[in-house]
Amino acid sequence: MRVYFFFVPIVVALATLEGLVLTWVARHDYDWRAYFVSLFDVSLREVVYMLPLSLAAPVFLWAWDNRLTTIPLDGILAFAVLFLGMEFFYYWFHRCSHRMRWFWATHAVHHSPNQLNLSAAYRFGFTGRTSGTLLFYTPMIWLGFPANAVIAALSLNLLYQFWLHATWIPKLGWLEYVLNTPSHHRVHHAANPEYIDANYGGVLIVFDRMFGTFVAERDDVPCRYGLVTPLGSYNPIFVALHEWIAMGRDLARAGSWRERLHIVIGPPGR
């Protein structure tokens, strides 16, 4: 996701500016400790991602060697298919990251801040590549899109989502029917029972509407951000690994292999 990381200094600067404005102008009780946890997270991830630790790399290579065809990115139709394909597979990656504990162990890091702001947008955790999250995009390579194009599309998708983490942006009228907006993403980050496990889209919200996971933000139900059981730690290593630790503890206590399998691929207890 090198395209995304190229923009890291810019998004960090914008998140810092937001924090300063919210603190000094809006007199908001901004969580600066959480800001620095996110800054540590993105810095450590930059280092870790330099290492050859990706589970997806050999699978991507196999998919490319056995691709059905080669899709040249030489026209608007090819880019449109790449965009829609990325949206489709990102939706299912994101949904599985909430419904399968193995993937939630990484994704929980993104949901761990108890305040939603721009600094939360780049808190992803550093275990994504080693847990195989990129495997969800293998079909696109098997169909004939080059791996670098798929990764670039994913990076741009994540870059779009940066601004969705600003809680001060209101609803955006008719755009709410098509695009993933800050209002929709506030719902996604909320731990309220009315909102949990909803709005998985990246740029678009259409697949949520299509597959029944769309929930609109309600004026009478303010969003409570963070995990269902709030994480109180500001230790960045613990934040990154807390759900892996909890899953390992549950596996050690399990009484059968069937129970262990359910712990790994079943829904998280939150």
Burial of 116 (0-12, 13-18, 19+ CB in 10 A): buried
Instruction: Report the predicted TM-score, pTM, of the whole model to 2 decimal places.
Output: 0.94
Asked, for residue 65, whether it belongs to a domain, the answer is yes
Of 224, 221, 182, nearest in space to 199 by CA = 182
pLDDT tens-digit profile of 31-80? 999 999 999 999 999 888 888 778 899 999 999 999 999 999 999 999 99
Asked if the structure places residue 203 within a domain, the reply is yes
233 Cβ neighbours under 8 A, 6+ residues apart: 239, 242
Domain range for 228 is 2-265
pLDDT greater than 60 at residue 27: yes
Assess if residue 152 is contained within a domain.
yes
Any domain includes 210: yes
270 located within any domain? no
The count of domains in the chain is 1
With a CB cutoff of 8 Å and minimum separation 6, the contacts of 201 are 87, 90, 91, 94, 180, 184, 207, 208
Query: Would you say residue 236 lies in a domain?
Result: yes
In this predicted model, what pLDDT tens digit does every residue of 195-217 receive, in sequence order? 999 999 999 999 999 999 999 99
Return the pLDDT at 6: 79
What SS3 class is residue 220? coil
